[in-house]
Structure 1
Amino acid sequence: MPAVNELHASSWLTDWRPGSWGTLLVAVVTIGYVAPWIRARRRGRADVSWLAWFLTFGAGALAYTLCGPVEVWSTRLMWVFALQVALLVAVIPTGLALARPVDVIEGATGSTALRRVLGGHLGRALMYPFVSSILAMVSVIVVFFTPYGQAALDSTPMRIVLTVHLLVVGGTVVLPLLAGDLLPAWAGPGVRVLLACVDGLFDAIPGILVMTHHDLLMPHFPGFAASASTYRGDMSASLDQKFAGGALLAVAESVGLPLLAAVFIEWMRADRASALRADAELDAQYGDGPGTTTPWWITAAPTTSEGSADATLTASEGLADVPPDRTSTPSR
């Protein structure tokens, strides 16, 4: 039988911490998206599926991570803290990006100011291919291999800083992959699929480093204290750290496939839009429209007087080669 304070299956549904700082952050993010979405929806420039993505994998996942069981157990088990870090840097930014926040704000305000800011020098530098992936990888490594993570566990303001930091860094990775105009011109849909694959490889590095490290990376982790031994049961601190690396690795690899699928869907949409534009250009060039009945190959065929003369000469030569009718009566 598990101990009273030991993590078990029902804990992932029943252990919540409402009223914390995480609740306020979730409320700010939710209001900041839903209010512009309603306005953009009234203008016909927002889709219902965007709101569904936001409520499920954006605000919903954020609430579960900051107010639910993940937050409750993040100070008791190191592998749950690692799970929280992975969710903040990979899963939640993907859910928020799928909700198309830039398009929602543009639809609500009618302005492209946000897109211009993201497409500025600083934004393009942070979201440049491989730069954002390396930045996210280094951010996770810094959490566990420097006092940054321990400081976030000991101080609420530092915990808020860490949360915002991970969300922003994760957004610089996934947002340009789903909004191609934030990347250089050479990063087409096919290149974005390749970038998503490479990003999955970068995300696996922190988990491998934590899992294979022999010494304790966070010796003052609250769950390693003697008074918190009931939370771990028979699990040692070193084993908890190995599980932390496994949690980072599992989340990094599991989120890669949905992100790759989302980028691939955007690729298909871009191809379909490109085909429609090409058809429209051909229709405008050759005059092929609803009121046109002449095929374009006849309309586009050049006609010259020299060509008409050649055609007439050829027809005359063809008539001359026809043998006379043997049944006709010869003239006398």
Structure 2
Amino acid sequence: MPPFSPSAILTEWGISPVLFVLTVWAAGLYLYAVWRLHERGDRWPVGRTLAFVGGGIGVFFFATSSGLAAYDTTLLSVHMVQHMLLSMVVPVMCALGAPVTLALRTLPRRPRRWLLAVLHSRLARVLTFAPLALALYVLSPWALYFTGWYDATLRSDLLHELMHVHLVLVGALFFTPVLGVDPVPGRVSHPFRLLMLMLTLPFHAFLGVTIMGQTRLIGGDWYPSLRASMPWLPDPYADQHLAGGILWGSGDLIALTMFVVLFVQWVRASHAEARREDRRLDRLDAQRAAGAEPTRR
């Protein structure tokens, strides 16, 4: 590998066949469903399409095919950037794209019934149960970096790719009920969603500081052994310190951005509820007026 630089992120591209196929299918099916809606005269918000295809699937492709993927087993700091994109940015953007709602509006009758059965199943209710989803999201990185799991992903291409998918799925379980607009089980009130987001802030800080202060190298002898063939690599402990700082800083920055998104959603939901209540009161007034008119005559 040539020495890493910011420009290498844009020049050292490669394709992972399995993840590339998943990317193409996910984007293609979403765009096809949007086209189906427009063909029958229905509207679908452009922002949702941009969020899912550009912000979700696009970032997933970038994280798993660009120079980030080329160097993610060479530098722990680069892997950590990839980790944050896959575990936070991709799930949030996909959730804002409302893929479940789009599927329910475009699927034929029988597949739609199957999807509804899955959404109302006990397994779906358990997996999206807010405390469980939060626990999985918080504990998963600890299990990844402080067991032999991460070491195994460095030595196995299959486990490495499965780790990428795992980060997205765990993030989706947590962020879809919190920030998504789909009718999935596990959705809670906006104050509780705000509380769940707040609980992630100390988690990222504590995990990042723990990684920065570790005297044991994550990955064991993997990173020191690479310096024999790539002498440009930094000291593994210094790179691990940088990785912890990236996890801490970027985690808090992305979470604060999510607070803004959640606040905007909360305000919009409040306005929509106020409009529904106004329409309900207007209907009651109209019914009372219609009932009182014969009496006056």
**Structure 2 letter corresponding to 1:101:** P
Q: How do 1:73-222 and structure 2 match up within 5 A?
A: 73-109=71-107, 111=112, 113-114=114-115, 116-177=117-178, 178-179=180-181, 181-182=183-184, 187-222=188-223
Label 1:77 to 1:231 Cα distance change in 2 as closer, same or farther (>3 A). farther
Partners of 1:23 and 1:190 in 2: how far apart?
Answer: 38
Size of the aligned set, in residue pairs, is: 290
Match of 1:266 in 2: 265
Partners of 1:120 and 1:199 in 2: how far apart?
Answer: 28
Gaps of 5+ in 2: none
**Structure 2 letter corresponding to 1:58:** G
**Structure 1 letter corresponding to 2:269:** A
Contact persistence 1:90–1:170 (CA under 8 A) = yes
Partners of 1:199 and 1:180 in 2: how far apart?
Answer: 22
TM-superposed deviation, 1:256: 0.6
Match of 1:310 in 2: none
Gaps of 5+ in 1: 289-294, 305-332
Match of 1:330 in 2: none
Label 1:216 to 1:222 Cα distance change in 2 as closer, same or farther (>3 A). closer
Q: How big is the alpha-carbon RMSD for the aligned residues of Structure 1 and Structure 2?
A: 2.8
Match of 1:42 in 2: 39
Cα deviation code 1:150-172 (max 9, x no counterpart) = 22222122122212211110001
Q: How do 1:267-286 and structure 2 match up within 5 A?
A: 267-286=266-285
Match of 1:248 in 2: 247
TM-superposed deviation, 1:105: 0.8
Cα deviation code 1:210-232 (max 9, x no counterpart) = 12211112113356423344342
Structure in which a larger fraction of residues adopt helix = 2
Partners of 1:211 and 1:119 in 2: how far apart?
Answer: 43
Contact persistence 1:180–1:189 (CA under 8 A) = no
Match of 2:3 in 1: 6
**Structure 1 letter corresponding to 2:24:** A
Partners of 1:213 and 1:191 in 2: how far apart?
Answer: 34
% identical aligned pairs: 24
Match of 2:227 in 1: 226
**Structure 2 letter corresponding to 1:271:** S
Match of 2:50 in 1: 52
Larger Rg belongs to: 1
Cα deviation code 1:104-141 (max 9, x no counterpart) = 11121263653552343222222222321221121111
- Could you tell me the TM-score, scaled by structure 1's length? 0.78
- Could you tell me the TM-score, scaled by structure 2's length? 0.86
Partners of 1:223 and 1:25 in 2: how far apart?
Answer: 33
TM-superposed deviation, 1:247: 1.9
